[in-house]
Chains A and B, each alone.
Chain A
C-alpha cells in the first residue's frame, strides 16, 4: 500500500522565481492538505483540496496556489519567492466523509531553499 509521496525531495531557487511541488496521496485517499514547516516550528496549514477545489485556506498570501487533479494528486505553486518561503513543505492526505476523515497521513516533505 503506497503511502503519501512528494517530489522533489530538495529544491533550491532564487528570490523572485516560481516553484511547483507535487504530491500523490495515500492509496484510497481523496483529500490533500499542504503545510509549511519553518525550521524549529510546527507545521502551518496552507490549504486543502477535495474534489479538485480549494476547500479551506490558512493565512497565506495569494502567491501560494494549488491544484488537484482527477487522480487526487496535487500541486503547490509558489510565485515570486521570498527568502522567508524557505521551509519544509509537507503534504498530507486523508479520506473525506468518514469517521476517520481527520486522520492525516503525511509525506516525507520537500525542502525548499530560497537564496
Chain B
C-alpha cells in the first residue's frame, strides 16, 4: 500500500530565503508525482507535475525533483516571498488511472 509522508509538517522562514520541502513515498512504482499549493480553506492549485520518466520540472522560482529509487521528491522554492505562505501538498499517482495519494502537507510561513 502506497504511503506518502511530508516532513516537516510546518516551516517558518524569513523572506528571501531559499527552501526545500520534502516528500517521501513507500512504493517506487509510481506513474507520476504532483505538487500542489493550498491556501487556507481553498482548493488545490497544481504547481508541478513530474512524470515517472523525468527527474525534475521547473516553473519560475519552483523546482521539483524526483528520485524514484529512493522514494523521494523535493520542492525547491527560491527567494521565498510572503505570498508563498500556504500549505504545500505532494501527491503520487501510482498508475495511469488518475487516483492520487496525498501526503499530509507542509505548512509554510514566509515572514516579511
Contact = CB atoms under 8 A, between A and B. Distances in A.
Are both chains from one complex? yes
Interface of A: 4, 6, 31, 33, 35, 40-45, 48, 55-56, 58, 88, 90, 92, 94, 96, 99-109, 111
Nearest to A97: B96
A55 B92 CA distance: 18
B32 A102 contact: yes
B46 A109 contact: no
A48 B46 contact: no
Contact of A102 (B45, B96, B102, B105): B96
A4 B36 CA distance: 15
Contact of A104 (B96, B100, B103): B100
B41 A103 contact: no
A33 B105 contact: no
A104 B34 contact: yes
Identify whether the interface residues of B are mostly helix, strand, loop, or mixed.
strand
Given A102-B49, A103-B46, A108-B43, 19 more contacts: A35-B102, A40-B104, A41-B104, A42-B89, A42-B102, A42-B103, A45-B99, A48-B99, A55-B97, A56-B97, A101-B98, A102-B31, A102-B32, A102-B93, A102-B97, A106-B36, A106-B44, A107-B43, A109-B42
Interface of B: 4, 31-32, 34, 36, 41-46, 49, 51, 89, 91, 93, 96-105
Nearest to B42: A108
A25 to B, nearest CB: 12
Contacts of B49: 100, 102-103
B41 A102 contact: no
A79 B51 CA distance: 37
B46 A105 contact: yes
B97 A48 contact: yes
A31 B49 CA distance: 18
Contacts of A100: 49
B31 to A, nearest CB: 6
30 contacts: A4-B43, A6-B43, A33-B100, A35-B100, A35-B102, A42-B4, A42-B105, A43-B100, A45-B100, A45-B101, A48-B97, A48-B99, A56-B99, A90-B43, A92-B100, A94-B98, A100-B49, A101-B96, A101-B98, A102-B31, A102-B93, A102-B97, A102-B100, A103-B34, A104-B46, A106-B36, A106-B43, A106-B44, A108-B42, A109-B43
